[in-house]
């Protein structure tokens, strides 16, 4: 028999549904041999980090974050398993999350796109219990209206057991390597960002290589990340950094962006200057769209090249006064610029020159996988197929009726004039996943 506790503060909705939801969740917890929690970004938006962490501690279970939720809960916590992004997760995170009997989605994680490692996560709906902002879903049962905060609070007092998890021991970070005269590489840049971050920082991450390089870094307590991997619309982060810096000037706002994304919304820098904001901006100049180079069959396709702006000259051109600006190409220059930015005396804008094909580890893995898939696909084509263009290989699958099929990516190879397409299905997920390519019947497009 499960005892359902009452919430401590007054709540604006009748509690009957909440009590029912708490009892149903507690029953599932009691029946589970293993349990994991995936917090959603809504937990920080509603400022419920403390009450969710209290629940996680009461349960003694692992928690992991999907990319969009990075920084929602403390990453130094003994129960923090790491980042969960499907096949792009470490083995210990996969074990903690996908092998658990029961997974509590705390806040409504959006299981789509990059947030699932390109649809490579494998969480069956039967083992998922969702505590969303205003409802609870357990299988096809919905409890509504409820308040997420009441659920966390009442569950803490009602949970029937403790699971006794602690994360594998993490090695102490070595000091980032390299000589002052060395060029800047992904391997030497991202550890420097990790050491630059401080508690309470607000870190805005752009889609592209910047987010894949930063996702694996462990954040100091209280540092928060804003990132939009859901649809990954580039240019978002520069504008979002303006909003974040305006919303809370007492925190350091740090923007990490690629130069291709930045070109779309760089005018927001002028607005930051106009309002006297003090962001710290790092623009990675790697001669174009590196993430696209990594995820396409032809990295040198002209689409990936950009007009070569003088990025570090932008703040002055956009009327920002008293900003520290620099263009850094060596580790020595980078370290000096980081030290200057850390003083916080002014806003900082640092153009970081990086390698055109120097992928951070997660992106390198996706690149190798995609390369292998393209080669297999090409080997499956027959002479009559008149193979012309390989494309859409990173587009998640939709079946012929337009229904989303997260377990399947379709690769279309366009066969020139005939208007005929040869379909090759990658079954089992996108570039991060261990998919298998299968030839399907040619398919005519009218
Ligand atoms: C509005 C929009 N256009 C195009 C894309 C496709 N896209 C995703 S990442 C990217 C390139 C990002 O390049 P950059 O900002 O230079 O980052 P890098 O990977 O080079 O570090 C593009 C074009 C997108 N996601 N959104
Ligand atoms: Mg770039």
User: Is residue 316 domain-shared with residue 440, that is, in the same domain?
Assistant: no
Measured from the CB, is residue 261 less than 6 Å from ligand 1? yes
CA of 251 to the centre of ligand 1 (A): 27
Percent of the chain with pLDDT over 70: 80
Q: Which of 193, 212, 260 to mutate to test the pocket of ligand 1 (most atoms within 8 A of CB)?
A: 260
Domain-located, residue 235: yes
User: Is residue 144 domain-shared with residue 199, that is, in the same domain?
Assistant: no
Q: Which CATH number do you get for residue 135? A: 3.40.50.1220
Contact 120, 86 (CB under 8 A): yes
User: Is residue 381 domain-shared with residue 361, that is, in the same domain?
Assistant: no
Determine the average pLDDT of the residues in 267-271: 98
Measured from the CB, is residue 290 less than 6 Å from ligand 1? yes
Contact 290, 206 (CB under 8 A): no
Domain count, the chain: 3
User: Is residue 29 domain-shared with residue 132, that is, in the same domain?
Assistant: yes
Domain-located, residue 9: no
Distance from C-alpha of 138 to C-alpha of 131, rounded to nearest angstrom: 9
Predicted confidence (pLDDT) per residue in 325-371, tens digit: 999 999 999 999 999 999 999 999 999 999 999 999 888 887 777 67
Identify which ligand lies nearest to the alpha carbon of 208.
Answer: 1
CA–chain centroid gap for 210, Å, is 11
Identify the domain containing residue 324 by its residue range: 186-366
User: Is residue 381 domain-shared with residue 362, that is, in the same domain?
Assistant: no
User: Is residue 30 domain-shared with residue 91, that is, in the same domain?
Assistant: yes
Please tell me the pTM assigned to this model. 0.86
User: Is residue 256 domain-shared with residue 397, that is, in the same domain?
Assistant: no
Which ligand 1 atom lies nearest to the CA of residue 262?
Answer: 15
Determine the average pLDDT of the residues in 366-395: 55
Predicted confidence (pLDDT) per residue in 93-142, tens digit: 999 999 999 999 999 999 887 888 777 788 888 999 999 999 999 999 99
Which ligand 1 atom lies nearest to the CA of residue 261?
Answer: 15
Domain-located, residue 275: yes
Provide long-range contacts, Cβ within 8 A and 24+ apart, for 247-253: 248/202, 249/277, 249/278, 251/200, 251/201, 251/202, 252/198, 252/200, 252/201, 252/202, 252/278, 252/280, 252/344, 253/201, 253/202, 253/204, 253/277, 253/278, 253/279, 253/280
Q: 3-state SS string over the chain?
A: CCCCCCCCCCCCCCCHHHHHHHHHHHHHHHHCCCEEEEECCHHHHCCCHHHHHHHHHHHCCCEEECHHHCCCCCCCCCCEEEECCHHHCCHHHHHHHHCCCEEEEECCCCCCHHHHCCCCCCCCHHHEEEECCCCEEECCEEECCCCHHHHHHHHHHHCCCCCCCCCCCCCCCCCCCCCCCCECCHHHHHHHHHHHCCCCCEEEECCCHHHHHHCCCCCCCCCEEEECCCCCCCCHHHHHHHHHHHHCCCCCEEEEEEHHHHHHHCCHHHHHHHCCCCCEEEEEECCCCHHHHHCCCCCCCHHHCCCCCCHHHHHHHCCCCCCEEEEECEHHHHHHHHHHHHCCCCCEEEEEECCCCCCCHHHHHHHHHHHHHHHHHHHHCCHHHCCCEEECCCCEEECCCCCEEEEEEEEEEEEHHHCEEEEEEEECCCCCCCCEEEECCCEECC
Determine the average pLDDT of the residues in 285-292: 96
405 vs 128, which has greater pLDDT? 128
User: Is residue 350 domain-shared with residue 403, that is, in the same domain?
Assistant: no
User: Is residue 192 domain-shared with residue 304, that is, in the same domain?
Assistant: yes
Determine the average pLDDT of the residues in 204-228: 94
- Per the listing, tokens 């970081």 go with 352
Measured from the CB, is residue 213 less than 6 Å from ligand 1? no
- Per the listing, tokens 């009590």 go with 19
User: Is residue 360 domain-shared with residue 388, that is, in the same domain?
Assistant: no
Q: Which CATH number do you get for residue 257? A: 3.40.50.970
Domain-located, residue 268: yes
Distance from C-alpha of 352 to C-alpha of 184, rounded to nearest angstrom: 8
pLDDT given for residue 6 in this prediction: 67
């Amino acid at each position: 028999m499960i005892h359902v506790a009452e919430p401590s503060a007054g709540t604006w909705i009748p509690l009957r549904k909440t009590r029912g939801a708490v009892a149903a969740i507690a029953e599932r917890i009691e029946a589970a041999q293993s349990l994991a929690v995936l917090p959603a970004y809504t937990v920080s938006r509603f400022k419920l980090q403390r009450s969710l962490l209290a629940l996680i501690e009461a349960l003694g279970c692992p928690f992991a974050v999907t990319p969009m939720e990075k920084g929602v809960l403390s990453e130094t916590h003994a129960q923090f398993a790491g980042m969960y992004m499907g096949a792009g997760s470490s083995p210990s995170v996969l074990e903690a999350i996908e092998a658990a009997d029961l997974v509590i989605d705390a806040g409504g994680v959006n299981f789509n796109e990059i947030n699932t490692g390109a649809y490579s996560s494998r969480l069956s709906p039967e083992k998922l219990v969702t505590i969303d902002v205003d409802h609870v879903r357990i299988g096809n049962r919905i409890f509504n209206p409820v308040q997420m905060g009441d659920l966390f609070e009442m569950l803490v007092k009602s949970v029937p057991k403790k699971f006794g998890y602690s994360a594998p021991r993490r090695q102490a970070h070595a000091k980032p390597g390299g000589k002052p005269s060395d060029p800047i590489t992904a391997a030497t840049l991202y550890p420097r960002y990790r050491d630059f971050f401080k508690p309470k920082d607000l870190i805005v991450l752009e889609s592209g290589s910047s987010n894949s390089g930063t996702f694996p870094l462990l954040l100091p307590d209280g540092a928060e990340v804003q990132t939009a991997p859901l649809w990954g619309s580039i240019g978002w982060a520069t504008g979002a950094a303006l909003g974040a810096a305006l919303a809370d000037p007492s925190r350091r706002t740090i923007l990490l962006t690629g130069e291709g994304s930045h070109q779309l919304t760089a005018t927001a820098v002028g607005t930051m200057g106009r309002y006297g904001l003090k962001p710290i901006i790092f623009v990675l100049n790697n001669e174009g769209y590196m993430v696209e180079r990594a995820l396409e069959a032809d990295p040198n396709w002209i689409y990936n090249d950009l007009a070569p702006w003088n990025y570090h000259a932008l703040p002055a051109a956009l009327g920002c006064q008293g900003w520290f600006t620099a263009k850094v190409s060596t580790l020595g220059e980078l370290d000096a610029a980081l030290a200057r930015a850390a003083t916080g005396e002014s806003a900082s804008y640092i153009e970081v020159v990086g390698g055109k094909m120097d992928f951070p580890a997660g992106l390198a893995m996706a690149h190798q996988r995609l390369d292998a898939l393209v080669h297999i696909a090409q080997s499956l084509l027959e002479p009559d197929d008149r193979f012309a263009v390989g494309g859409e290989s990173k587009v998640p699958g939709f079946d012929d009726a337009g229904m989303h099929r997260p377990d399947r990516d379709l690769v279309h190879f366009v066969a020139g004039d005939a208007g005929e397409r040869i379909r090759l299905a990658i079954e089992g997920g996108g570039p991060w996943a261990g998919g298998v390519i299968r030839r399907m019947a040619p398919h005519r497009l009218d």
